[in-house]
Chains A and B, each alone.
Chain A
Amino acid sequence: MKVTVDQDKCVASGQCVVAAMEVFDQRDEDGIVVLLTPEPPAEQAEDVRHAAAVCPALAIEIQD
């Protein structure tokens, strides 16, 4: 699984961080998403998919 994020789209809702803390973080200054793990291990795949599904800004893309 490969993950990309679009920081321009992100509205800093933090939903991705709640869904998958090992993979996503937020910038201190403005809460914009930071991708920690662009290729998350299989056991995190479901959480990452959930993060992409709940991201209100459609800022998370996943390639399998």
Chain B
Amino acid sequence: MTSTVNPVDERAARAPEFPMARAAGCPFDPPPGLRGMQQEGPLAKVRLWDGSTPWLVTGYADQRTLLGDPRVSADINRPGYPRQAPMPPGGTGVSFILKDDPEHARLRRMVTAPFAIKRVEAMRPGVQKIVDDLIDELLAGPNPVDLVEAFALPVPSLVICQLLGVPYADHDFFQENSKVIINRNVTPEQRSAAHGNLIGYLDDLMGEKIAHPVDDLLSGLAGRVTAGELARDEAAQMGVLLLIAGHETTANMIALGTLALFEHPDQLALLRETDDPKLISSAVEELLRYLHITHSGRRRVAVADIEIGGEVIRAGEGLILANDIANRDPDVFAEPDRLDLRRDARRHVAFGFGVHQCLGQPLARMELQVVYNTLYRRIPTLRPATELERIPFKHDGSVYGVYELPVTW
């Protein structure tokens, strides 16, 4: 009877669970299971927490093709969309990153101006000051110290607060809540409550900005609300998205990047000894490629049949584009598992690809350039204060990184 079984169904039946575990003792490499799949072919089936079996796409070229294909939807409310976690009771508002054009483009264009290259470059001296002040405090404080708490989180948090116009004094509150939102292991009720807290907070703030607009991003959105171009709940939703995305990702790149450099002393030495902006910029791209902290893949759903690599993805089937393994595709990056700060890694897909590519990437790049160029030069003896085995990794988060990184100098 096996001959009559649809081969796709059969593959679904033996689909491995996703996300997969990393190899023990290998915190920077993608799970070995993903590597195996990449060697086997362009498409595979995986099983998610809810029993659904979306396609997993591992190859770099195929991911770029699919992420640029208008038949591929980012709309989380379409049937077949591969969700990372159960839907919270009553649902939550959906930000533009989980919508399709034209709605996505309409909303995204309202917040792109502050992330333009020249605007971001104009922020560089301010970011340098934030970084320098935090290092001064670090050096004056206890030793050893947790680098995440003392430096990696405050840098992007201070920057995004300034850009948005959110009082940094409230950072404990929104960091606690955003931690819950990006943790895959909390209950839907917990996630919904945390999201509600942040929406409430941003909505209050939006009220203030509507009444007293100043020169910041939230005031810009407030102006759109006043002009009737944007609903107030949409504005609050965007504020929450930018606030969470603005610090979680960069903070993890700072801490995990520092740990990766500790494990590669020759590469750390390169950064410690240079002030060549070209090398610093290539180092940032290579660490983005190598660490791929967005390790849960880009999630999409097909809205029409799509043929790729001799297979057909049917309309309504979910897709996970695993950018972590794409960044280790040997067809694109020679010796992909080697951290090599001098290589040209600019084509990596750490920020995704297609119209949903990360909006904040110019800001993230600039922050990381300033940090990597400053921290190790100002504290040349910076080193881990514990063994690698004792460092807690965020295997359960939708953004990968370390919960803590004790350092000494």
Contacts and interface: CB of A to CB of B under 8 A. Distances in A.
Nearest to A12: B112
B354 interface: yes
Interface string A44-64: 000000100110111000000
A17 to B, nearest CB: 4
B355 A14 contact: no
Contact of B357 (A29, A50, A56): A56
Given A12-B109, A13-B361, A30-B109, A57 B117 contact: no
**Size bracket, chain B contacts:** 20 to 34
B115 interface: yes
B113 A29 contact: yes
A47 B67 CA distance: 23
B346 A11 contact: no
Nearest to B352: A56
B355 A57 contact: yes
Interface string A5-41: 0000101111101110000001111111000000000
B23 interface: no
Contacts of A30: 109, 112-113
Interface string B353-395: 1111111011001000000000000000000000000000000
B108 interface: yes
B79 interface: no
A14 B115 CA distance: 8
B68 A58 contact: yes
Interface string B51-66: 0000000000000000
Given A56-B353, A57-B355, A58-B68, A14 B117 contact: yes
Nearest to B281: A18
A56 B354 contact: yes
Interface in B191-248: none
A37 B365 CA distance: 26
Contact of B112 (A31, A54, A58): A31
Contacts of B117: 14, 17-18, 26
26 contacts: A9-B355, A11-B105, A11-B356, A11-B357, A12-B108, A12-B109, A12-B113, A12-B115, A12-B116, A13-B362, A14-B116, A14-B120, A14-B362, A15-B361, A17-B118, A18-B117, A19-B346, A26-B118, A28-B113, A28-B116, A30-B113, A31-B113, A32-B109, A56-B351, A56-B353, A57-B354
Interface of B: 67-68, 105, 108-109, 112-113, 115-118, 120, 346-347, 351-359, 361-362, 365
Given A18-B362, A30-B109, A56-B353, 11 more contacts: A11-B108, A12-B112, A13-B358, A14-B115, A17-B117, A28-B116, A30-B113, A32-B112, A56-B67, A56-B355, A57-B354
